[in-house]
Amino acid sequence: MSYAAYKMMHWPTGIENSASGFVTNCRADFTPQIPLNHTEDLESDWSSRRGIGPVPNLIVTAANVLELYVVRVQEEGTREARNSTEVKRGGIMDGVSAVSLELVCSYRLHGNVESMAVLSIGGGDVSRRRDSIILTFQDAKIAVLEFDDSTHSLQTSSMHCFEGPEWLHLKRGRESFARGPLVKADPQGRCSGVLVYGLQMIILKAAQAGSGFVGEDDAFGSGATVSARVESSYIINLRDLDMKHIKDFIFVHGYIEPVMVILHERELTWAGRVSWKHHTCMISALSISTTLKQHPLIWSAANLPHDAYKLLAVPSPIGGVLVISANMIHYHSQVDFHCLGMSWSSIFFQELPRSSFNVELDAANATWLLNDVALLSAKTGELLLLTLVYDGRVVQRLDLSKSKASVLTSDITTIGNSLVFLGSRLGDSLLVQFSSGSGASTLPSGLKEEVGDIEGDVPLAKRLRRSSSDALQDAVGSEELSLYGSTPNNSESAQKAFLFAVRDSLINVGPLKDFSYGLRINADANATGIAKQSNYELVCCSGHGKNGALCVLRQSIRPEMITEVELTGCKGIWTVYHKSTRGHNADSSKLADDDDEYHAYLIISLEARTMVLETADLLTEVTESVDYYVQGRTIAAGNLFGRRRVIQVFERGARILDGSFMTQELSIPLPNSETSSGSDNSTVMSVSIADPYVLLRMTDGSILLLVGDPATCTVSINSPAAFEGSKKRVSACSLYHDKGPEPWLRKASSDAWLSTGIGESIDSADGGPHDQGDIYCVICYENGALEIFDVPNFNCVFSVEKFASGRAHLVDAYSQESSEDSEKPINKSSEELAGQSRKENVHNLKVVELAMQRWSGNHSRPFIFGILTDGTILCYHAYLFEGPDNASKVEGSASAQSSVGLSNVNASRLRNLRFIRVSLDAYTREETSNGTLSQRITIFKNISGYQGFFLSGLRPAWFMVFRQRLRIHPQICDGSIVAFTVLHNVNCNHGFIYVTSQGILKICQMPSTSNYDNYWPVQKIPLRGTPHQVTYFAERNLYPLIVSVPVHKPVNQVLSSLVDQEAGHQMDNLNLSSDELHRTYTVEEFEVRILEPEKSGGPWETKATIPMQSSENALTVRVVTLFAFFVLFRGKKLYLDSALLQNTTTKENETLLAIGTAYVQGEDVAARGRVLLFSIGRSTDNNQNLVSEVYSKELKGAISALASLQGHLLIASGPKIILHIWTGSELNGIAFYDAPPLYVVSLNIVKNFILLGDVHKSIYFLSWKEQGAQLSLLAKDFGSLDCFATEFLIDGSTLSLMVSDDQKNIQVFYYAPKMSESWRGQKLLSRAEFHVGAHVTKFLRLQMLSTSGRTSATAGSDKTNRFALLFGTLDGSIGCIAPLDELTFRRLQSLQKKLVDAVPHVAGLNPRSFRHFRSNGKAHRPGPDSIVDCELLCHYEMLPLEEQLEIAHQIGTTRSQILSNLNDLTLGTSFL
């Protein structure tokens, strides 16, 4: 491998930082609408409930992913709640029935977010200003982001960088720092502080409202919103203030000027010296004057515990600060001091107040629920409530009480006044609603039963699908989060009682410690090529402690098949409803039973005929006995008039049927003398149905509209007047039904919605019922323009030039500002590119299929999808933006074009409508030929409760909508799919039917155990323990897995295990009192579980458990194949002559389970370990003897890695590696290598080569020679490197060595003994290096799929023996390193260099600097830049077409060549 590509396949999910703030809207927007929409309810309910106040946004970061959510609250009793079809979680609390998170925008940044704060604006609830987000990145980069309504995205408002030569003095000679920059903001939004390089405090001064450049933005009227911004920055060197070791800082409430409290340690100490030197921390409060740049010390407090680590600012009116340490909580203010010790703590202060229970507070996270109650989350996942008992502004005491357990958190954020978000890296993150009363009795009695068990109302299978497994773990163990907080400690306690309910959860598959690659249960043994890849799944060890789980990840969906039949030559399939007895306006009220109605007929279109089947209990063909058109192929079929009629459209006509009887027949086109003579052979090409209209596109590029009359259930043909004389050919068209009680697009045409918040202010034009909604027609012309018309009047309400270019935003051409901004550069470049586009055949790039859809959900917005002739899929998401003075501008532009009907045009334009392009880089493009013009998009509203659309074709995929976000899951198991439709009947509940190109019709259902709201479908199996390593036993389809479970043991028992029994030492009692000896201490107990996947896809079953001994840790488990040699001994020497072996010994291979362990008994006991061999039996009925121990042997040193090498067992024990031969009953060492490795973290073997990764000493490359039985060192890396994982990378005949390290880098080495710089072959040479930005814990070598079958320019360069490395990280991300040939690499590298400048990067981050090797101050010689970054290359497809052509031209290639290379890479690595 000389060249490679780095490609992410599953992005990070472990949430590290979370914050809340009014980013997308300001506080003032909420006052009229919340708590209730309806004023009549307002008076009656206001007295009896608290109501949810303004709800801010939630911002979360996971490694380099930044996501902004809006919190949707559904009040009980409102119209929203009644219409909602979503599954509710958590019952009703405080009048709220459901709360959910909805994605606003998501970004993958070129840098990991170190810390985050929200710069708020202060100024009370009626403020029109918005909050901004401050992000910090290594080493000292700061970016301030604000939300821009006009582009519906985050924009960078300022960037601050304190790196590079001119800021070198800030480091004071140091190179490595324990943590990255830490940012905190002043609660009133006057400034924020960033701690960089340990000692430098950067103060960012916020711009005041109405001053500086903010005022310019404010000029267009007081109604406009402005975000908080940073005006200037300066540095305070804290060393000058005699502060040396800073642990935390915070801004406190209640001062006229910002006051920063800093927690720092004057002299360092540690646990071993605490009895001599303790209470070394202190806090200092500085008053920050941003104008004078002065920071006087106003108060301080010393003698705080040495393990204090966190500050928490107490909200007004109390003020002050809480200092949290491992065993104590201190409260300090300028005038007051209180503290609370945990019950075992306070060795030094006997008279301190103590809590009534034990809890360790190190690594806790905290937030405020009320202004006097803080919620703390301990490292065990316990939730604690800390109450400040106060009178006026004087705190009297601190009260700590236990709540229930929850997820292990990484950050907690309060959202508004009754929601809290528990962000987690180790489990699923939870959105929780809380409610407080002064005592348990004040809670409404009805609430208790509802909240007692949140998930009690649904069967377990549904609950598994709906809720996160982490919330479930607690629910199953009757320890759910739906708790009443605490019972009061004592009679006079002022403790408030709290009630919690889980409302939503974000799934997390990290941290991925290890994974294994195994067969799925429903694997197809006959599959070949890319379809074979969907036979496999990735079983990952993820989570920690009680959040530990096995995550089963599959990149593609494999449906559960009910039945299949052969059906050749199929062109399309449709299912239709039929019910004769229906009310007139059956679909006007979205009835609940509507969704559960069974389909009546299945219509199958073949090449020259149509089949009709009845979908009752059995599928029976009724083609002969129905009035359907069966003599030729059908173009489309669907229901009209509220499912009372069926319409069937064929090439030259249409039929309306009532069940099986025809009520009307139409011939298309109408014989019409006016049209051109060629119209006779014009037939129907495509059909779009939106009750009661049907839109037809003809082969000559014209369109026809069939208009239905619901009263008579008849249809008439209408040729839209707007298109009568039009010369523009239509390339694609679709109808869009804007359903629901509040049609979404109405908001875009009128300003009334802004003032009322309710769509009812606009009367519908035809006076029909409101909730019928509106119907629009979306049309794309062959020249690439897109127009939206209202139906049936065909007034143009929205138009865009060059839709097919794929610009980032679509704005109505009538609104002037857009045409000024975006048209000019495009026009200029289009002249330059005319010749080039001819060269690339881009001028015939047109939209061949369109769809516009808004799925159910109270706040859902429509999507537009367009498929281009080259297979590109454009996806746009609608949003509303009301420009400053849109009205006047639009009138001006419209009058210039036509003075006739001006007011009409202006009134009906959707001038506030805009679209933002959504990236679909999870989908692999399909290069279509012009022959395939069948419809590929099939929209579904309910397949097993999911909604979205299915894309058929060569590479079928599911596009599912969750929280207004598209999740794309390919389906590769059946190859190409030609037709798809939904099916709901007795035997197939909310399932689907599809036909493959091999001519097989399959009736399937969605696998119910997976959660699809993730980058890949995931199934979580809770373990209630920490998984460490997993391996796959292929013969029996079992997964052996190391799990450790925390167990509470008495202290004296723990101490006795730390003594070396062999040496006969006695345990001295270490001056511990008897009650201290009987306290419990938590230790991890290890076991190896053998799990079997459940055939039905349910929870996995533990087949056997192998327990470890006391204080023995299992470190590694591997399935090894050993050759049993019957070996001759001559004297004491062991001969291993291959000639001798063949004559006098027999060889048989055994597959065994090998486990390596270590005894962890403290530093006074010499390290020992055991190697254990188990055989796994064949008996399936009796689990007892499934696993039997074959052999065990104790060795010096920890057994940290095992591998089988040509039938022998290679064991890494402590500082040496030993090769053992297996005699059938015991292991005998035959060779060893006594290198300086300190602790081997990984062993990899290819043929007779060994790659060994050490925890500190980088990698060693060894070979095993059977002749002479020796392990010899070939070469090693002489640098020091803390290895995490290693693996061989094979590219044809080239062998490379891959290693990942603790600084989140990967390096590729190679062995070249003939090169002079390799010091005669002793030194491994660097082939490539790359910064991944995450700790890579495991590499897996998988063979790449050959793409040489496709037309490739360099067919000869396609090697068959080419492997890629799949890797998993601690952030929950999965990616791969894939080898490239040189030509492709040079092309993509040139493109990458262009894209650094061509793409605007979020937060102003530079992708090149992010991918530089990080050495953390150690000497490192830079290696070659031989890896291209697909995270940057994927931006190419999101550029407008003109820019794509321009960039391709500049680097001397073509757009199609670049897209083909990227496509080949994605296809070659479609592993799961």
- Say yes or no to pLDDT of 888 above 70: no
pLDDT of amino acid 922: 73
Distance (Å, whole) CA 336 – CA 1190: 68
Between 104-118, 203-217, 720-734, the lowest mean confidence (pLDDT) is in: 203-217
Kindly state the average pLDDT of the residues 1188-1215: 93
- pLDDT tens-digit series, residues 1094-1117: 877 677 889 999 999 988 999 999
Where helices occur in 182-280 by DSSP H, the ranges are 212-217
Cβ contact 796:789 at 8 Å: yes
Residue whose structure tokens are 């909602």: 84
Q: Half-sphere exposure of residue 488, counting CA atoms within 13 Å on the CB side?
A: 12
User: Which residue's entry shows tokens 């509507």?
Assistant: 594
Q: Which two tokens stand for residue 231?
A: 């005006």
- HSE toward the beta carbon, residue 930, CA cutoff 13 A: 4
For position 1095, what pLDDT does the model report?
77
Query: HEC profile for 852-894?
Result: EECCCCCCCCCEEEEEECCCCEEEEEEEECCCCCHHHHHHHHH
| Res. 525 pLDDT band, cuts 50 70 90 | confident
Q: Which of the residue ranges 222-236, 245-259, 922-936 has the most confident prediction, judged by mean pLDDT? A: 245-259
**Distance (Å, rounded) from C-alpha 889 to C-alpha 173?**
59
Mean pLDDT of 698-703: 88
Residues recorded for the chain = 1472
1458-1471 pLDDT tens trace: 999 999 999 889 88
The number of helices, as runs of H, and strands, as runs of E, in the chain is 21, 90
Q: How far is CA 616 from CA 597, 601, 613, 621, 982, in A?
A: 12, 8, 9, 11, 15
Answer whether residue 672 shows pLDDT above 60. Answer: no
Q: How confident is the model at residue 1337 (pLDDT cuts 50, 70, 90)?
A: very high
Give the DSSP H/E element, type plus range, for residue 896.
helix 886-897
Residue with tokens 């939106």: 690
Q: Residue 595 pLDDT > 90, yes or no?
A: no
pLDDT tops 70 at residue 711: yes
The reported pLDDT for the residue numbered 1391 is 97
Higher pLDDT, 330 or 840: 330
Return the closest-CA partner of residue 522 out of 874, 995, 1006, 876.
1006
State which amino acid sits at residue 986: V
Peptide bond connecting 32 to the previous residue in cis, omega within 30 degrees of 0: no
Mean pLDDT of 559-568: 92
pLDDT at 417 over 50: yes
Per-residue pLDDT band for 115 (boundaries 50, 70, 90) equals: very high
Kindly tell me if the per-residue pLDDT of 895 is higher than 70: no
Task: Report the run of H or E that residue 577 belongs to, with start and end.
Answer: none
Q: Two tokens at 1053?
A: 């028992």
Relative to beta strand 129-130, strand 226-227 is parallel
| Euclidean distance between CA atoms 162 and 142, whole angstroms | 9
The answer, yes or no, to whether the previous bond of 35 is cis (omega within 30 of 0) is yes
Residue 36: closest CA among 85, 87, 96: 96
Per residue, what are the HEC states of 514-549?
A: EEEEEECCCCCCCCCHHHHHHHEEEEEEECCHHHCE
**DSSP string for 1326-1353:** EEEEEE-SS-EEEEEEEEPPP-TTS--T
Task: Give the pLDDT confidence of 968-998 residue by residue, as tens digits.
Answer: 999 989 889 999 999 999 889 999 999 999 9
Q: Is the peptide bond before 792 cis (omega within 30 degrees of 0)?
A: yes
pLDDT at 1136: 46
720 cis-preceded (ω within 30 degrees of 0): no
Q: DSSP character for 1037?
A: T
Question: So what's the pLDDT on residue 1082?
Answer: 86
Residue 1366 pLDDT greater than 70, yes or no: yes
Return d(Cα 1372, Cα 14) in angstroms, integer.
Answer: 6
Q: Which band of pLDDT confidence, cut at 50, 70 and 90, is reported for residue 584?
A: very low
pLDDT of 691 = 85
The reported pLDDT for the residue numbered 1148 is 75
Rg (CA), the chain: 34
Q: What pLDDT, on a 0 to 100 scale, did the predictor assign at position 742? A: 77
Res. 553: pLDDT tops 50: yes
Task: Answer whether residue 431 shows pLDDT above 50.
Answer: yes
**Which sign does the torsion angle of CA 344, 347, 348, 350 carry?**
positive
- Which amino acid is present at 727? K
Query: How confident is the model over 593-601, as a mean pLDDT?
Result: 81
Average pLDDT estimate for 890-897: 35
State the amino acid at position 734 in one-letter form: S
Q: Is the dihedral of CA 222, 228, 229, 231 positive or negative?
A: positive
The predicted pLDDT at position 93 comes to 80
Q: Which segment, 62-66, 72-76, 742-746, 793-797, is predicted with the most confidence on average?
A: 62-66
The answer to whether 598 touches 985, Cβ cutoff 8 Å, is yes
Chain mean pLDDT for the chain: 82
Per cent of the chain over pLDDT 70 is 79
Confidence check: pLDDT of 346 > 60: no
